[in-house]
């Protein structure tokens, strides 16, 4: 197929008008395209990526499109991880305020989600600008973006700016939990401690689930305290602390 033909085929496939290798009848189209991609030769795979980038540019130039089609396109572009994709999407995200009605909120979320998951993370300053656009709506995706680059300082400092709802707190707890899992063991306690330090500046509804999560990470602190107490007890009791062995009478005989 020529490049224009691939663009047409991709547009049709993303709209559900082309047969795709699907697991179930209701599977997302982009997953079918990704499956198909695995079976293609390198030239065809490159064409598919170029075609996806072409459609992405078309969408970003106009900032409009049917929601389900754009969501499928963004998922596909995200999965292909083309180096140009994050720049194109970041440019569109910065133009969100100029596109007040034409771009559905679900599409904006998909754009920001694709940016968070992109191959080249954007700096915290970028995400803070996004947050300023619509704090109530974009806060949690901005938090994901910042946590991806600087969880310990910038990430934690963003928590007081989160919307004051239990649901936002639950989402933040999930994000923090995943960051905690990925952190080196020696940084985890400091991370939790810093979070606890800023919770007083957060709204109560938001802080609730985050506090609950941070308290579940406390056993590490308890273990540390326990080991300090144990060593103090050892020093104080001296020989008394040593285990007492019974000598077998048979052995003595």
For the record, the structure tokens of 88 come out as 């194109």
Instruction: For residue 183, state whether it binds another protein (rule: CB under 8 A).
Output: no
How many other C-beta atoms are found inside a 10 Å radius of the C-beta of residue 129? 14
For the chain, the distance separating the N- and C-terminal CA atoms, rounded to the nearest angstrom, is 94
How many other C-beta atoms are found inside a 10 Å radius of the C-beta of residue 157? 16
Name which of residues 21 to 40 contact another protein (CB under 8 A).
21-28, 31-32, 34-35, 38
Instruction: For residue 170, state whether it binds another protein (rule: CB under 8 A).
Output: yes
Which of residues 8, 60, 174, 183 is near another protein by CB under 8 A? Answer: 174
Single out the segment in contact with another protein by CB under 8 A; choices: 42-50, 92-100, 174-182, 183-191: 174-182
Instruction: For residue 19, state whether it binds another protein (rule: CB under 8 A).
Output: yes
Rounded to a whole number of angstroms, the minimum distance from the CB of residue 110 to another protein is 8
Instruction: For residue 213, state whether it binds another protein (rule: CB under 8 A).
Output: yes
Instruction: For residue 177, state whether it binds another protein (rule: CB under 8 A).
Output: yes
212-to-75, 158, 216, 223 alpha-carbon distances in Å? 33, 18, 6, 19
Distance CA 152, CA 214 (A): 14
Instruction: For residue 171, state whether it binds another protein (rule: CB under 8 A).
Output: yes
For the record, the structure tokens of 152 come out as 């310990």
Instruction: Mention every residue, 6+ apart, whose C-beta is less than 8 A from residue 34.
Output: 76, 79
Which of residues 168, 195, 199, 207 is near another protein by CB under 8 A? Answer: 168
Which of residues 10, 175, 191, 195 is near another protein by CB under 8 A? Answer: 175
Instruction: For residue 103, state whether it binds another protein (rule: CB under 8 A).
Output: no
Give the burial string for 164-201 (b: 16+ CB within 10 Å, else e): eeeebbebbbebbeebbeebeeeebbebbebbbeebee
Instruction: For residue 173, state whether it binds another protein (rule: CB under 8 A).
Output: yes
Entry field: residues in the chain = 253
Report the residue number, 21 or 234, with the smaller CB distance to another protein.
21
Instruction: For residue 205, state whether it binds another protein (rule: CB under 8 A).
Output: no
| Cβ–Cβ under 8 Å, residues 71 and 79 | no
- What are the residues binding another protein (CB under 8 A)? 16-17, 19, 21-28, 31-32, 34-35, 38, 71, 75, 78, 105-106, 108-110, 112-113, 116-117, 137-138, 140-141, 144, 167-168, 170-171, 173-175, 177-178, 181, 209, 213
């Amino acid at each position: 197929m020529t490049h224009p033909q691939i663009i047409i085929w991709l547009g049709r496939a993303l709209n559900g008008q082309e047969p795709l290798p699907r697991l179930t009848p209701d599977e997302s189209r982009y997953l079918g395209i990704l499956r198909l991609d695995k079976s293609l030769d390198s030239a065809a795979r490159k064409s598919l990526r170029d075609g996806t980038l072409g459609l992405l540019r078309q969408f970003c130039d106009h900032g409009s499109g049917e929601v389900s089609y754009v969501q499928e396109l963004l998922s596909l572009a995200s999965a292909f991880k083309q180096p140009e994709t994050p720049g194109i999407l970041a440019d569109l995200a910065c133009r969100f305020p100029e596109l007040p009605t034409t771009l559905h909120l679900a599409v904006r979320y998909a754009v920001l989600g694709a940016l968070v998951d992109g191959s080249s993370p954007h700096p915290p300053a970028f995400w803070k600008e996004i947050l300023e656009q619509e704090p109530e709506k974009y806060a949690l995706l901005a938090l994901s973006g910042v946590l991806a680059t600087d969880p310990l300082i910038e990430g934690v400092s963003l928590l007081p700016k989160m919307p004051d709802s239990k649901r936002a707190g639950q989402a933040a707890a999930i994000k923090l939990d995943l960051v905690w899992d990925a952190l080196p063991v020696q940084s985890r306690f400091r991370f939790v401690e810093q979070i606890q330090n800023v919770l007083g500046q957060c709204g109560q509804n938001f802080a609730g689930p985050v506090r609950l999560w941070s308290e579940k990470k406390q056993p590490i602190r308890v273990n540390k305290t326990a080991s300090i107490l144990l060593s103090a007890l050892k020093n104080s009791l001296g020989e008394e602390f040593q285990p007492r062995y019974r000598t077998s009478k048979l052995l003595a005989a």
